[in-house]
Chain A
């Protein structure tokens, strides 16, 4: 899946769609398989990116071997009686509701009845200290934005500059399970309940095999495996596999208002995964790109067919918007590749909050503005014009180092490269539609970023005009296989229904 962050408006429709379908249950109230974070911010659960606290993901040790940071065979089994790095519900938030009925049914009295918040765990009245999206849009605040773990790569001066009121900016980061190629949750599960589906790469937790050892919660560096305290099982995003098998998009993608999400088939060479995950930190993104193979390559097609990949899947891989954004145009980066799980959600970094620069303006310019124009009383000038081609990318309002810490393990060149491509497409379109950009400038911009007019047109189409079927290119599971992917019908012949035949309740 690819997320085009320039288009995300932070409306949380995806989160709500997901919540209503999957996590509106007892024990799952606090879970947001899909959540949208404001960056800079601490996120959900608080400071999840700080692996000194949560000990998630993989580490490469001195001899070059990969090992799980906070779990694994030795650590996991030794810590099985008490997992020292398990987040508790307070790191997310204590789920709550309000006693609305009290408004109607309160006995007559001297005071106005109120709907007090009550905990969804204990049912007792509580003081709400945190909730879903508690730090939404709170960039710049000391409690949230300034505690963003990504800021530690920035010098204090850069941090200060970032949070000056005039320069302040933020963007949204939608997150679901990354369905990683080298998933730490799978590796950490002592029961072997978590697995990656060969057919479509979806990482799932078998609820009947899960025995509540809770290691996946620690191991997932993205904190996308959640422990259900009521059923005693871990749960996570299932990429709406029942919908996907039937040919429907996942609910988060289907409901996305900004149309920022693109899902397509990617063919990859599983034999290269281990090497890619063990690459040097600076090469991680490129190594991961090398795992993804070209679906037009005759050799790739032949070997896919030999391995029983259906033609519909190969065709979908050729039309995949994900392949275009990730490989063909090189516009997307994975989130925190340094966790070494090879996450398969890719993000087109946001250009808009980045590009505008703030510089000291002179008062003579301000005099030209009329009263209605909003200007600050000091000497700063907020500048969104782009007379230079790339100047503003480097002196961006949003330090590139910050974006690099999120998307490229600190490689600012990789981020600048994606931003310049976004800019080049804008210059190209401005040349086409407005016409105040000269052809030489447009061509220079494209040349420098390695784009052609055709690819710029393609990026523009997929970014701005794409229809649903351009953004969602996944073949439905073959009809004859769809049900068997869940369960073999022969096993349950003569029974009623599929799946659970007991309520997921405890008591034993």
Chain B
């Protein structure tokens, strides 16, 4: 059992981390064309709304919540010091998790029932959706049964995750956790491992730079003035207009 735990909570996370980093970089470099999510809204638009929107907003909030608890556990514990604030945090997180679950079920049903959408569905899409569905359901189950998640995540799991990152894994706390939570953790590592082979890569290319750039884009392949100027020295890189 101890060895098994060692594999699940030490081996797997490192495998996940390495696959995630190497796989994603490799995919971006060699299959840049495919670094996006294959949208099926063009084939079916109406029921997508009821799946995609609750799912995405749900996962955005829930993911950011996990990230916060991981990055600043002390801040979260401080916030949770007041019971009212704790309840507000938990209820918000739970409702967004619920919205995620509802959205995901909608998306799953849509994938299975719509003939056109089935044509652009790969096995990996289905696997990923099932994993995410399990993850969400487990998360909601835990949030309901093992209160208060935000506090014990910050107190027990963040140190564990940091111990992984600092290459001195300490699994004493994790191996004592209830099964549902352990499953949730292992499933998370699985999703991370699969990340570069799924449509999830689109979250790494979220177009936030759109906010910074001016609306119009003109690209000159060459800076013609520089090219035609006799004093411009020959160089292997083109003088470009920026």
Q: Is A149's CB within 8 Å of the partner chain B?
A: no
**Contact A191:B219 (CB < 8 A) given known A86-B41, A508-B124:** no
Q: Do A211 and B220 touch (CB < 8 A)?
A: no
Q: Do A191 and B33 touch (CB < 8 A)?
A: no
Q: Is A51's CB within 8 Å of the partner chain B?
A: no
Stretch at the interface among A168-176, A363-371, A426-434, A484-492: A484-492
**Contact A82:B41 (CB < 8 A) given known A77-B211, A191-B210, A197-B219:** yes
Q: Is B241's CB within 8 Å of the partner chain A?
A: yes
Stretch at the interface among A135-143, A306-314, A377-385: A306-314
Interface size on A, residues (CB 8 A): 62
Q: Do A307 and B42 touch (CB < 8 A)?
A: no
Q: Do A502 and B221 touch (CB < 8 A)?
A: no
Stretch at the interface among A182-190, A407-415, A457-465: A182-190
> A93 → chain B, closest Cβ, in Å?
13
Q: Is A99's CB within 8 Å of the partner chain B?
A: no
Q: Do B217 and A194 touch (CB < 8 A)?
A: yes
Q: Do A232 and B38 touch (CB < 8 A)?
A: yes
CA distance A122 to B120 in the complex (A): 9
Q: Is B222's CB within 8 Å of the partner chain A?
A: yes
Contacts of A488 in B (CB 8 A): 237-238
CA distance A307 to B49 in the complex (A): 49
Contact with B along A387-413 (1 / 0, CB 8 A): 000000000000000000000000000
Q: Do B215 and A187 touch (CB < 8 A)?
A: yes
Q: Do B36 and A232 touch (CB < 8 A)?
A: yes
Q: Is B45's CB within 8 Å of the partner chain A?
A: yes
Stretch at the interface among B74-82, B85-93, B172-180, B223-231: B223-231
Q: Is A105's CB within 8 Å of the partner chain B?
A: no
Q: Do B38 and A124 touch (CB < 8 A)?
A: no
Chain A contact surface mostly: loop
Most interface-central of A81, A83, A214 (chain B CB within 10 A) = A81
> A18 → chain B, closest Cβ, in Å?
21
Q: Do B39 and A212 touch (CB < 8 A)?
A: yes
**Contact A192:B209 (CB < 8 A) given known A81-B57, A309-B224, A508-B31:** yes
CA distance A123 to B228 in the complex (A): 55
Stretch at the interface among B3-11, B135-143, B144-152, B199-207: B199-207
Q: Do B42 and A484 touch (CB < 8 A)?
A: no
Q: Is B44's CB within 8 Å of the partner chain A?
A: yes
Q: Is B61's CB within 8 Å of the partner chain A?
A: no
Question: Which residue from chain A places its CB closest to the CB of B54 in the assembled complex?
Answer: A81
CA distance A192 to B205 in the complex (A): 12
Contacts of A187 in B (CB 8 A): 215-216
Question: Which residue from chain B places its CB closest to the CB of A505 in the assembled complex?
Answer: B34
> A386 → chain B, closest Cβ, in Å?
46
Q: Which of B38-53 contact A (CB under 8 A)?
A: 38-45, 48-49, 52-53
Contact with A along B65-76 (1 / 0, CB 8 A): 000000000000
Contacts of B197 in A (CB 8 A): 508
Question: Which residue from chain B places its CB closest to the CB of A183 in the assembled complex?
Answer: B216
**Contact A190:B210 (CB < 8 A) given known A122-B119, A196-B218:** yes
Question: Which residue from chain B places its CB closest to the CB of A209 in the assembled complex?
Answer: B32
Q: Do B41 and A214 touch (CB < 8 A)?
A: yes
Q: Do B218 and A89 touch (CB < 8 A)?
A: no
Q: Is B99's CB within 8 Å of the partner chain A?
A: no
CA distance A217 to B32 in the complex (A): 22
Q: Do A307 and B224 touch (CB < 8 A)?
A: yes
Contacts of A308 in B (CB 8 A): 223-228
CA distance A190 to B226 in the complex (A): 31
Most interface-central of A210, A232, A307 (chain B CB within 10 A) = A232
CA distance A185 to B27 in the complex (A): 28
Question: Which residue from chain B places its CB closest to the CB of A503 in the assembled complex?
Answer: B33
Contacts of B241 in A (CB 8 A): 198
Q: Is B35's CB within 8 Å of the partner chain A?
A: yes
Q: Do A82 and B48 touch (CB < 8 A)?
A: yes
Question: Which residue from chain A places its CB closest to the CB of B225 in the assembled complex?
Answer: A308
Question: Which residue from chain B places its CB closest to the CB of A201 in the assembled complex?
Answer: B218
> A288 → chain B, closest Cβ, in Å?
16
Contact with B along A477-489 (1 / 0, CB 8 A): 0000100110010
**Contact A481:B222 (CB < 8 A) given known A198-B241, A229-B120, A506-B38:** yes
**Contact A227:B223 (CB < 8 A) given known A186-B215, A508-B197, A508-B199:** no
> B35 → chain A, closest Cβ, in Å?
7
CA distance A89 to B37 in the complex (A): 19
Q: Which of B115-145 contact A (CB under 8 A)?
A: 115-116, 118-120, 122, 124
Contacts of B31 in A (CB 8 A): 502, 508
**Contact for B36 among A73, A122, A189, A210, CB less than 8 A:** A210
**Contact A213:B207 (CB < 8 A) given known A192-B217, A307-B224:** yes
Q: Do B43 and A232 touch (CB < 8 A)?
A: no
Q: Do A212 and B38 touch (CB < 8 A)?
A: yes
Q: Is A497's CB within 8 Å of the partner chain B?
A: no
**Contact for A196 among B120, B122, B124, B219, CB less than 8 A:** B219
A86-B41, A186-B216, A196-B216 given; 4 more Cβ-contact pairs under 8 Å: A82-B45, A86-B45, A197-B219, A502-B33
**Interface positions of A (Cβ within 8 A of B):** 68, 73, 76-77, 80-84, 86-89, 121-124, 182-183, 186-187, 189-192, 194-199, 207-208, 210-214, 217, 227, 229-233, 270, 306-310, 481, 484-485, 488, 490, 500, 502, 504, 506-508
